Amino acid sequence: MSSRDSIFKAIRQGLGRGPLDDAARSQLDARIANPPQHIRATVDDADLITRFAQRFESRSGTTERIASLADVPAAVAALAESYAIAPSAVVGTALGELSWPDGWQIDHGAATIDVMLGVSLAWRGIAETGSILMLSGPDCPITHNFVPETHVVVLPVEHIVRHYEDCWVALRERGQGAPRAMNFISGPSRTGDVEQTIELGAHGPRRMHVLILG
Amino acid sequence: MEFRSPEFKTRAVHALHDANLQKALSNTKAGFVVKRAQAAAEMPEFEALRDTAAEIKNHVLANLDHYLEKYEAAVTAAGGHVHYATDAEDARRIILGICKKANAKRITKGKSMVSEEMGLNEALIADGYEVVETDLGEYIIQLADEPPSHIIAPAIHKTKDQVADLFAAAHNKPRKTDRAELVAEAREVLREKYFTAEVGITGGNFLVAETGSSVIVTNEGNGDLTQTLAKVHIVTSGIERVIPTLDDLSVFLRILARSATGQETESYTTFSTGPRREGDIDGPEEYHVVLLDNGRSKMLGSRFQDMLRCIRCGACMNHCPVYGSIGGHAYGWVYPGPMGSVLTPLIKGMDGTYDLPNACTLNGRCKSVCPVRIPLPDLLREIRHNQFRQDMTPKRQKQALKLWRYVAERPKLYHFAERIGVRILASMANGKGKLRSLPFDPGWTGARDLPAPTGRTFLELWQAKRGDK
């Protein structure tokens, strides 16, 4: 008997029944197709943008408002200058064609070990916790989120939702299942593994800056 | 992983006298305990979420076969592979096979307690692979050649100075003493490993049947680099970790971080679904999930089924006075503290695990903080019952209890014995009101005094006061 078969047999033996009948199975499938909604954290803020920013900043992230997508390069350049980061970045093509200042080197490929700066478009921002949700894809490579020391994320205000669950509704509407990687990111990488004292920049980005667009 | 639970008592005594360990443990209370209490207090829905989480888990366990089938189908549809392992040996065989096929030399690992259960590192190293733990805590204890002492903070028993010594010895660099410098040094060393490993192994906190996703919750981002940069991603998880939908998952995301570290959320919650897709320019080319049974299916339908709700947050051990005094290593296997004292006898058997469920004061703090409301003290008591039924209780303990019962069932004899007892203790105290050491149990008075009776029993005083006599 295969390991799979013996495990399923043991599960059913433990539960004191055979395989579920068709009626029971379709009931469970219906629970997946129409997921029951559970209790959520109260987010009664009228202004979700402010809530998002406050929560994100509470975990050492930084935010900035910009008016249009065209402002992204200047905002990134200013940040790079203030932290003495060389004018070079990996940028997801989801951000479209941006006009970068002279001297900037822009790469749309996967982030390699020496890349110091990544710029990405957030798929959603969650006001409840001040987290962003990234979906991996050719236009939003996952290495951009984790390899660079500094990660700048562009979050259009219309992408900000109240709860995690709002993301699931949007994901199901998108209709392609889950991408290879989905990441809720709630601030810079951190560790408390040395004497339970928080240090930033354990393995992922040391710095996270969200450009709230709109 | 070596099984050293039979040595619990000697290891516990050793732990109590380990100054470094005691210093490290004293950080826990101010850290995890206070922060969890704050996080819970700040969220009015927290208690209701705990109820809902327990209900969801119960629903899954009652239909585990169906949800596993659904999950497996979704992973397969996304291009991944699900492997089932009945026990640790089975799991090691599967994973060694995947690594061999991948022509791997270097393997990076994110934190996975299930992989500890599998004894995976030892097996990989024995087969000639270089294994690099990438969670900072796991990396520290790998350098120290020690097992984890906490399920979410594996190096909680190490002081900063000890970490500095380990890094200086391993990295061939000047010894750093600043915490930030130590973290930066590990970052630099591990970066190169991520980019050169052929296989990346992570755990799986949750498995979502709806999408076929495995979910990890981390602060460091090491799991993400591990699973993104290697050609092959292997997830190790337990068969009980499946949940139906993303909406069910949301409930657990709200309680896991708060219960574990007192955070509203960790930095990263990462969903992995299959290998890289057509057009993707990064991500692994292969995706495998190895689901371990290792005694879990036997808990279904038993008195211990509730234990399968566990989401491995570590709150029970953070709040356990025994764990807080001796740390995790004394327990001698993968899972320490209250949840470990239930799981270890169930997974490894009753032999050699006698002391674990007995190293508990039944104070109930673990139950009061468990996010999925596992009645841990009841389960520990149940294991004690089983030990008694199997005649494992030490003879002296049984004889003492028999004697106590004989006396307790005879009130006159009991009061007589009590009157003698208090008089002896009173005369030993010699009017000082306390005893500095007990003749039969010097350990109890090792660090404290025993308040001594004044010479008369409560009943005597009561009767005298009421003038009955």
The interface predicted TM-score of the complex, written ipTM, equals 0.97
**pLDDT confidence band for B442 (50 / 70 / 90):** confident
**B224 torsion bin: left (phi>0), alpha (psi -120 to 50), beta (else):** alpha
**Per-residue pLDDT reduced to its tens digit, A155-172:** 999 999 999 999 999 999
Check whether B356 has a pLDDT greater than 70.
Answer: yes
Torsion of CA A43, A48, A50, A55, to 10 degrees: 50
| Domain encompassing residue B211 | 5-297
**Residue B94 counted as domain residue:** yes
Over residues A110-130, mean pLDDT: 97
CA gap A137, A134 in Å, rounded: 9
In the predicted structure, residue A74 carries a pLDDT above the cut 90: yes
Interchain CB distance below 8 Å, A197 and B274: no
Pairing of strands A88-91, A105-107: parallel
Over range B302-329, report the average pLDDT.
Answer: 96
Q: Is A164 on the interface with B (CB under 8 A)?
A: yes
User: Is B349 part of a structural domain of the chain?
Assistant: no
Compute the radius of gyration of chain A from its Cα atoms: 21
Contact of B314 with B28, CB cutoff 8 Å: no
> Looking at the partner chain, which of A37, A111, A137 has a beta carbon nearest the beta carbon of B280?
A137
How many Å apart are CA B276 and CA B269, to the nearest integer? 18
Query: What does the mean pLDDT of chain B come to?
Result: 94
Of B297, B315, B347, the residue at which a domain comes to its end is: B297
User: Taking all residues of chain A, what is their mean pLDDT, rounded to a whole number?
Assistant: 97
pLDDT band at B431 (very low <50, low <70, confident <90, very high): confident
- Report the pLDDT value the prediction gives residue B468, as an integer from 0 to 100: 62
Are B136 and A191 within 8 A, CB to CB? yes
Helix spans in chain A (H): 3-15, 22-33, 48-57, 72-82, 143-146, 164-174
Q: Which of B269, B297, B325 is the last residue of a domain?
A: B297
Please indicate, yes or no, whether residues B293 and B404 belong to a single structural domain of this protein: no
Tokens of A2: 């295969």
Q: Which residue of A has its CA nearest to B48?
A: A39
| Burial class of residue B403, CB neighbours in 10 A (0-12, 13-18, 19+) | exposed
Supply φ then ψ for residue B429, to 5 degrees.
-75, -20
Find chain A residues with C-beta within 8 A of B137's C-beta: 191, 193
Both B159 and B19 in a single domain? yes
Rounded to whole angstroms, how far apart are CA atoms B350 and B105? 38
Substitution target in B43, B232, B246 with the highest count of A β-carbons within 10 Å is B246
Q: Is residue B317 part of a domain?
A: no
**Three-class DSSP category at B326:** helix
Quick one: pLDDT at residue B436? 84
Question: Considering only CB atoms, which chain B residues are within 8 Å of A10?
Answer: 293, 297-298, 300
Least Cα distance to A202 among B138, B118, B148 occurs for B138
Domains and CATH numbers, chain A: 3-33 (no CATH), 48-213 (3.40.50.10420)
Q: Is residue B384 part of a domain?
A: no
Min CA distance, A95 vs chain B (Å)? Answer: 16
Q: Provide the shortest C-alpha distance from residue B38 to chain A (in Å).
A: 15
Label residue B88 by pLDDT band (50, 70, 90).
Answer: very high
Asked which of B12-26, B265-279, B331-345, B444-458 is least confident by mean pLDDT, the reply is: B444-458
- Contact state of A136 with B134 under an 8 Å Cβ cutoff: no
Taking CB atoms and an 8 Å cutoff, what residues of chain B touch A38?
49, 52, 56, 247-248, 250-251
Give chain B positions within 8 Å (CB) of A143: 228-229, 282
In the prediction, which pLDDT does A32 show?
98
Using the predicted structure, report yes or no on whether residue B469 has a pLDDT greater than 60. no
pLDDT at residue B439 tops 80: no
Residue B393 falls inside a structural domain: no
CATH of the domain at B24: 3.40.50.10420
How many domains is chain B partitioned into structurally? 2
Higher-pLDDT residue of B468 and B182 is B182
Domain boundary, last residue among B270, B297, B324: B297
Residue A179 banded pLDDT, cuts 50, 70, 90: very high
* A116 contacts chain B (CB < 8 A): no
Tell me, yes or no, whether B314 lies in a domain: no
- The beta-carbon neighbor of A14 closest among B31, B229, B298 is B298
Query: Chain A partners of B66 at a C-beta cutoff of 8 Å?
Result: 20, 24-25, 28
Whether B49 is covered by a domain: the verdict is: yes
d(CA A188, CA A150): 9
Choosing among B207, B227, B268, which should be mutated to test the A contact, i.e. which has the most A CBs within 10 A?
B268
Interface mutation vs chain A, best among B166, B205, B282, most A CBs within 10 Å: B282
Best of A143, A194, A198, A199 to disrupt the B interface (most B CBs within 10 Å) is A194
B437 assigned to some structural domain? yes
Distances (CA, A) of B14 to A101, B8, B322: 63, 10, 14
> Which residues from chain B sit within 8 angstroms of residue A11, using beta carbons?
64-65, 68, 239, 297, 300
Q: Which residue of A has its CA nearest to B182?
A: A194
Residues 55-114 of chain A with CB under 8 A from chain B are 55, 58-59, 109-113
State whether B273 and A178 contact (CB < 8 Å). Answer: yes
For chain B, how many residues are written?
Answer: 469
Joined together, the tokens standing for residue B433 give 């009101």
What is the number of other CB atoms lying within 10 angstroms of the CB of residue B432? 10
Q: What pTM was computed for the model?
A: 0.94
